[in-house]
Amino acid sequence: MMKYLIPLLFALSFLMSFKSDIDKVYICDNKTSSVYHIRKNCKALDKCSHKIITVTTKEAVDKYSKRACKICK
Ligand SMILES: [Zn+2]
């Protein structure tokens, strides 16, 4: 049983890391911005003078309470 379980887990974690990879969004770490950006070259992100953090969409919504940017969505 273990013999089959371990490669299965590897495959699963690979798929999940791949999924979270394509699920990255960018947020400006200035506390006042309330949006996350799909594209890193978004016009609104250009104005960000703080650090730009890369998070997953879920983190952006749940942890940082952001909504999708209207410009780059
Ligand atoms: Zn944007």
Separation of 66 CA from ligand 1 center, angstroms? 12
| pLDDT per residue rounded down to tens, the chain (73 residues) | 678 888 888 888 887 776 555 689 999 998 888 999 999 999 999 989 999 999 999 999 999 999 999 999 7
As given in the structure block, the two tokens for residue 61 are 């919504």
Burial of 1 (0-12, 13-18, 19+ CB in 10 A): exposed
At residue 19, the pLDDT reads 59
Delimit the domains of the chain by residue range.
Answer: 24-73
Give the CA dihedral 47, 53, 54, 58, nearest 10 degrees. Answer: -100
Separation of 23 CA from ligand 1 center, angstroms? 15
